[in-house]
A and B are shown apart, each in its own frame.
Chain A
Amino acid sequence: MAEVTGPPKPLAKAEAGHDAEKPRFEMRGIRRAFGATVALDGVDLSVRAGEVCALVGQNGAGKSTLMAILAGALTPGAGTMTMDGRPFAPRSPLDARRAGVAMIYQELSLAPHLSVMENILLGMEPARFGLLDWGRTREVAARALAQLGHDEIDLAARVETLSVAAQQLVEIARAIAVGCRVLVLDEPTSSLGREDVARLFDLVRRLKAQGHAIVYISHFIEEVTTIADRVVVLRDGRNAGGGDIATTTPDAIVAMMVGRQMDDLFPRSPRRRGDAILDVDRLEPGAATFTLHRGEILGIAGLIGAGRTRLLRTIFGLAPVRSGLVRVATFSGASSPSDRPSDRWNQRVGLLSEDRKAEGLALGLSVADNLTLTRLEAFGPAGFVSPTRQRAAASGWIGTLDIRCAGAGQTAGELSGGNQQKVALARLLHHDVDVLILDEPTRGIDVASKAQIYALIDALVADAPDRPAKAVLVVSSYLPELVGLCDRIAVMHRGTLGVPRDVSGLTERDLMMDATGVAHTA
């Protein structure tokens, strides 16, 4: 355990102005792959002392991976890093912290039952002969908060009694107390109100004046243009451009985030819009009104945290309906606000969860169990299940969807991400639902599986003489996917679903503008 032996280095004096042109840290040609998926392919990033650099990009562009490498949580496959001109290769998060890299994540990491000062000095408590030195604890914590200009926070207060904004301050104070030189703020405003955001920006400017190098990650372009000096855009694991904020327009940033699209991944069979099958009327939360038809794919775009997943869960009966209606047309009985997932399955509506590991699959059970759970009735009379018939049915889907596994009895957790996702999707097909609600259907899976899933979704809604087309409602953070798949797209922004618009004539840029709120402010 590191002890504080002297006052933290007077950062303001030592660092500001000192070689201001040289980068505080520099990452060059950073490469990182996870299995066959290349998350980062030669990314450069450097930030000077006293500079706020915004790091932006779509979900999956590689921001988190890049920051995890900077923070020592991941090691790069290739590339070099320097800190103040010296080679920097942290072996662990602790290593990086000692070198002065501090990360403030969206999810704060504080001990809620401990006091403010205990939290600020967590892991580096000053001690004398093994006894905690409360006097020095108080002193160091007070100095860190004073440096942030927030000495009004009660040092003895339990952290859980503070507002989210104040908790965030405590976490930043902790970074200051350990003498951080590089501060990474990951979506710091996502849970703050308007006034707190303004106060946070004041704080960021203050830290900047004190000579910290700050990386600011945000989806909100208006924030980036307000607070950053420079912007770096990532796309598909590569640098997609950037520049001084003064000379870069929000439009240009969005254009760099979106890039060009690849059409051939997305087949489009002839589709014919059929009967209305799912009717959502002024549903709260989500302010959603739309009608989904057979033979149609309706997409919902938006940022993470915009409320898309909650809307899907509300429609499916997994989250409570505050007001409004969900009607499933093919179902003869009336839908009610108290419908549960079991009712939805009976109405032939199925949901694919965005979180495959935590909710989508039971990784400890077999492929067959996972695939057939919603419709075990097919395998025997009166509550009985024949494992043989269950496995036979699962084997059929394994063949149809080209799921790579040792057999229907294999444990789902042993499959690759793409194959797991196919199992989760096959569950909806086995149930033979009419409406497929898909939440991030291709998150974290390889390109080959993605292409197969796109083709499958397209085939489900294709016009065919022998069977009625199905209807698909899909949420995705990956815009090319939405534009490539959907017939209509609605954008969700800060908890409100917009009106679905026809995809012809819509560009990813329009969607990104709506999702990031550029159109709302400019």
Chain B
Amino acid sequence: MTARALVDRGGTLIGLALVAAIFGSLIGAQFFAPGNLELMARQTAIVGMAALGMTMVIVAGGIDLSVGSVIALSTVVIALLLKGDHGPWVAALGGIGAGAICGLANGLLITRLRVVPFIVTLGTMLIVRGAAKGLADERRIEAPTTWLNDLLRSGAGGTWLPAGIWLVVVLALVMGGVLGYTRFGRHLFAIGSNERMARLCGVRVERRKGAMYAAAAACAGAAGLLQFSKLSVGDPTVASGLELDVIAAVIIGGGSLSGGRGTVAGTLVGATIMTLIQIGCSQRGLPNWVQQIVTGGIIVAAVALDRVRSARS
């Protein structure tokens, strides 16, 4: 394999190794201590979960700006259901279901009104955020303590890693399988790479997109579940602006905003790179602004690399 092909295929992994090496040398071996690694995994879980859905959307040439709001709505719905004496399972599924409904609305608006996804989801970002605030009466909602609060707690339930992280791992495997090994997944790649061709080849583009936006927002709903677990309250103002982190994770991971490219593994590596920068900077005592500049630089560098790659082919 030539050096160039190596950079092509494992570009993001090399980036991860570089970032890890830099912070490792700055901070020392304790940066890679098991406890610290687990902390990183927990930090990555929420963005990573939402980014799994976003990978699908970006592969199909779309975008979903409403994920941050959907996460907030999901925490509110979960808290309200728990408060209303429903069981944790009902509450969890309710949060995920609320996300799926938002996504279905996105999909219908995009395919029926033929408005570009950027605009539709910009609108639903505000609508869903408003709905979450309205449902919560603009307050945080306290909920009775259940096992949902332990999803991201280390050591809880005697598992090796918190259950929430396993949830992300399982969902990542499922999503990887869907994208690579199902007709649905291959159709998403076709739509993202050339929508007119997909239509010509008999792909039911509208249906596929509708299902995709619903599934993606369900992932955001699941990210909301993890967010709730972390906060242990329903907060309608949480995860504001998180959609950009989620999109950045996919892009750093090799996804292309012009569609047709993106992998689940890349997305998770991308999300991890961002966490590494966050945790590394704070443990090194670097202020927040440094962290933001570094993350921004990485996003631009990742996209520039993408441009170079696509210009060659």
CB pair A385–B181 under 8 Å, yes or no, is: yes
A497 within 8 A of B: no
Within 8 A of B (CB), among A331-349: 340-346
Cα A344 to Cα B204 in complex, Å, equals 13
Specify which of B187, B193, B194, B202 is in contact with A340 (CB 8 Å cutoff).
Answer: B202
Cα A74 to Cα B261 in complex, Å, equals 33
Cα A440 to Cα B181 in complex, Å, equals 34
Map CB proximity to B onto A345-375 as digits: 1 under 8 Å, 0 otherwise. 1100001010000111111110001000110
B86 within 8 A of A: no
Chain A minimum-CB-distance residue to B260? A364
Map CB proximity to A onto B249-265 as digits: 1 under 8 Å, 0 otherwise. 00000000000110000
CB pair B202–A362 under 8 Å, yes or no, is: no
- Chain A residues contacting B197 (CB-CB under 8 Å) are 353, 359-362, 373
Contact A341:B183 (CB < 8 A) given known A359-B196, A362-B190, A413-B313: no
CB pair B194–A383 under 8 Å, yes or no, is: no
B145 within 8 A of A: no
CB pair B260–A373 under 8 Å, yes or no, is: no
CB pair A342–B181 under 8 Å, yes or no, is: no
CB pair A411–B183 under 8 Å, yes or no, is: no
Specify which of B184, B200, B310 is in contact with A341 (CB 8 Å cutoff).
Answer: B200
Cα A342 to Cα B208 in complex, Å, equals 13
Cα A115 to Cα B32 in complex, Å, equals 64
Contact A383:B183 (CB < 8 A) given known A318-B199, A361-B197, A414-B313: yes
CB pair A373–B190 under 8 Å, yes or no, is: yes
CB pair A374–B193 under 8 Å, yes or no, is: no
Interface band, chain B: 20 to 34
Cα A414 to Cα B200 in complex, Å, equals 22
Specify which of B200, B204, B260, B310 is in contact with A318 (CB 8 Å cutoff).
Answer: B200
Specify which of B184, B200, B260, B261 is in contact with A359 (CB 8 Å cutoff).
Answer: B200
CB pair A364–B204 under 8 Å, yes or no, is: no
A151 within 8 A of B: no
Interface band, chain A: 20 to 34
Cα A318 to Cα B181 in complex, Å, equals 28
B5 within 8 A of A: no
Cα A375 to Cα B229 in complex, Å, equals 44
B203 within 8 A of A: yes
A129 within 8 A of B: no
- Chain B residues contacting A139 (CB-CB under 8 Å) are none
- Chain A residues contacting B204 (CB-CB under 8 Å) are 340, 342
Cα A346 to Cα B186 in complex, Å, equals 19
CB pair B189–A369 under 8 Å, yes or no, is: yes
B293 within 8 A of A: no
CB pair B193–A365 under 8 Å, yes or no, is: yes
- Chain B residues contacting A376 (CB-CB under 8 Å) are 183, 186
Cα A413 to Cα B204 in complex, Å, equals 24
CB pair A365–B201 under 8 Å, yes or no, is: no
Specify which of B186, B196, B202, B313 is in contact with A369 (CB 8 Å cutoff).
Answer: B186
A387 within 8 A of B: yes
Q: Give the secondary structure class of B's interface.
A: helix
A32 within 8 A of B: no
Cα A427 to Cα B202 in complex, Å, equals 12
- Chain A residues contacting B310 (CB-CB under 8 Å) are 364
- Chain B residues contacting A362 (CB-CB under 8 Å) are 189-190, 193-194, 197-198, 260
CB pair A385–B202 under 8 Å, yes or no, is: no
Specify which of B181, B202, B313 is in contact with A387 (CB 8 Å cutoff).
Answer: B181
A386 within 8 A of B: yes
Contact A385:B196 (CB < 8 A) given known A364-B261, A411-B313: no
CB pair B202–A345 under 8 Å, yes or no, is: yes
A384 within 8 A of B: yes
B282 within 8 A of A: no
- Chain A residues contacting B185 (CB-CB under 8 Å) are 385
- Chain A residues contacting B261 (CB-CB under 8 Å) are 364
B283 within 8 A of A: no
Map CB proximity to B onto A400-422 as digits: 1 under 8 Å, 0 otherwise. 00000000000101100000000
Cα A362 to Cα B195 in complex, Å, equals 8
Cα A318 to Cα B203 in complex, Å, equals 12
- Chain B residues contacting A360 (CB-CB under 8 Å) are 197, 200
B134 within 8 A of A: no
A133 within 8 A of B: no
Map CB proximity to B onto A415-433 as digits: 1 under 8 Å, 0 otherwise. 0000000000001000000
A3 within 8 A of B: no
Cα A47 to Cα B201 in complex, Å, equals 48
B182 within 8 A of A: yes
A154 within 8 A of B: no
A502 within 8 A of B: no
- Chain A residues contacting B182 (CB-CB under 8 Å) are 383-385
Contact A383:B184 (CB < 8 A) given known A362-B193, A414-B313: yes
A107 within 8 A of B: no
Specify which of A341, A343, A385 is in contact with B201 (CB 8 Å cutoff).
Answer: A341
A19 within 8 A of B: no
A377 within 8 A of B: yes
CB pair B193–A373 under 8 Å, yes or no, is: no
CB pair B186–A373 under 8 Å, yes or no, is: yes
Contact A373:B199 (CB < 8 A) given known A383-B182, A383-B183, A414-B313: no
CB pair A374–B201 under 8 Å, yes or no, is: yes
Map CB proximity to B onto A292-312 as digits: 1 under 8 Å, 0 otherwise. 000000000000000000000
CB distance from B264 to the nearest CB of A (A): 15
CB distance from A358 to the nearest CB of B (A): 6
Within 8 A of A (CB), among B166-182: 180-182
Specify which of B180, B184, B196, B201 is in contact with A373 (CB 8 Å cutoff).
Answer: B201
- Chain A residues contacting B184 (CB-CB under 8 Å) are 383
- Chain A residues contacting B194 (CB-CB under 8 Å) are 358-359, 361-365
Cα A361 to Cα B201 in complex, Å, equals 10
CB pair A377–B180 under 8 Å, yes or no, is: no
Contact A365:B200 (CB < 8 A) given known A384-B181, A385-B181: no
Cα A48 to Cα B138 in complex, Å, equals 79
CB distance from A363 to the nearest CB of B (A): 7
- Chain B residues contacting A411 (CB-CB under 8 Å) are 313
Q: Looking at A341, A358, A361, A362, which has the most chain B CB atoms within 10 Å of its CB? A: A362
Cα A342 to Cα B202 in complex, Å, equals 4
- Chain A residues contacting B180 (CB-CB under 8 Å) are 387
9 interchain residue pairs of minimum CB distance = A362-B193, A342-B202, A362-B194, A345-B202, A359-B196, A364-B260, A364-B193, A341-B202, A373-B201
Question: What are 22 A-to-B residue pairs whose CB atoms are below 8 Å?
Answer: A318-B199, A341-B200, A342-B202, A343-B202, A344-B202, A345-B201, A345-B202, A358-B196, A362-B193, A362-B197, A362-B198, A363-B194, A364-B310, A365-B189, A369-B186, A373-B198, A373-B201, A374-B201, A383-B183, A385-B185, A385-B186, A387-B181
B interface, CB within 8 angstroms of A: 180-187, 189-190, 193-194, 196-204, 260-261, 310, 313
Extra contacts, 13 of them, besides A364-B310, A365-B189, A387-B181 (Cβ < 8 A), are A318-B200, A341-B200, A346-B202, A358-B196, A361-B197, A362-B198, A362-B260, A363-B194, A365-B190, A365-B193, A377-B183, A384-B181, A411-B313
